[in-house]
Amino acid sequence: MPLEVRTTATLAEAASLLQSERAARFMAGGTLMMRAVNEGDVSFSTIVRTSDPAFVRVRAAGGRIELGAGVTMAQVLASRELAFLHPAARAVGGPAVRTMATVGGNLFAAHPYGDFATALLALDARVQLASGFGAREVPLEDLLRGRERGPRQLVAAVSFERPADPAAFRFRKMTRTHPKGPAVLTIAAWLPTSGGRVSGARVAFGAMAPFPIRARAVERALEGRLLSAEGVAPAVAAAAREGDPPTDPIASAWYRQRVVGVVLRRLLLGEL
């Protein structure tokens, strides 16, 4: 069935269109939406796009980094200021997918996808939502939690504080095929230390629940600890109790629960 494609000049117009037309869906890079189109999904009849320059803008110079939701993984990889995010961007698909796949789209990528969203969650990102009546902001965690059943929302941009020490941000994805494949699980962690002890850690798990989650018990278990084999042991033990991992063709819930601690320990200790 032919679809109508409407391209708006502003994000606000796109948001208004999506609110007024139930059969309209927004498309950014197309790596998720065109799959639905090619499958013959009849739940939508209009594709909404935007040519708003803010949608594809990278603001990485200041203390707070802002990425337009239409910024692609390739754009992230081309930015030297975003070097700490390169492992996460490289975890998304092959080069052709990365030319197309966007920051905003990754927030809506169904399990086991969403590696970049997992990284943003560990950076405590906030999401700017566009609407016909102006923009508002929500924590990324809230957006992810409500994305299946919440109201339809259009993400305009994400923002987060630049990590003071890029080395304190770590990302690791476990896959069954190399160099790329869907996640068995993904871990992103922000691990600031004070006098060698962890202070204010944020740890996010991807593919360990229907959407990326913060691993709060792991974060608590890390507080005040050294990043040594002994220091991280309580956090590693807590990892298996986080989330509610799905069973899928990549891995079973049982396997994910048993392997998450191993991957977490390697990430925390900087082991290969």
Partner 1 sequence: MTKAVRLELNGSPVAAVAEGGENLLALLRERLGDTSPKAGCLQGTCGACTVLLDGEPVLACLTLAELADGRRVTTVRGLQDGPRLHPLQEAFMDGFAAQCGFCTPGMLIAAKALLDREPNPTREQVIEAIAGNVCRCTGYTPIVEAILDAARRLAGRRG
Q: Which of 13, 87, 93, 124 binds partner 1 (CB under 8 A)?
A: 93
Provide the token pair at 76. 């992230």
Which window, 63-71, 91-99, 117-125, 196-204, contacts partner 1 (CB under 8 A)? 91-99
Please name which of 172, 232, 168, 158 lies closest in space to residue 208, comparing C-alpha atoms.
172
Chain positions 13 to 52 lying near partner 1, rule: CB under 8 A, are 27, 30-31, 34-35, 37-39, 47
Chain positions 233 to 272 lying near partner 1, rule: CB under 8 A, are none
Q: Smallest distance from the beta carbon of 96 to partner 1, in angstroms?
A: 4
Q: In sequence order, which ranges of 40-83 are alpha helices (DSSP H)?
A: 73-78
Distance (Å, whole) CA 253 – CA 165 = 34
Q: Smallest distance from the beta carbon of 68 to partner 1, in angstroms?
A: 17
Q: Which of 63, 134, 151, 179 binds partner 1 (CB under 8 A)?
A: 179
- The verdict on 96 binding partner 1 (CB under 8 A) reads yes
Q: In sequence order, which ranges of 126-215 are alpha helices (DSSP H)?
A: 140-146
CA dihedral over 203, 206, 207, 213, signed as positive or negative:
positive
Q: In sequence order, which ranges of the chain are alpha helices (DSSP H)?
A: 11-20, 33-38, 73-78, 86-90, 95-100, 103-106, 115-122, 140-146, 216-222, 229-239, 253-269
- The verdict on 89 binding partner 1 (CB under 8 A) reads no
Which window, 86-94, 119-127, 164-172, 194-202, contacts partner 1 (CB under 8 A)? 86-94
Q: Which residues bind partner 1 (CB under 8 A)?
A: 2-5, 27, 30-31, 34-35, 37-39, 47, 74, 90, 93-97, 99-100, 179-180
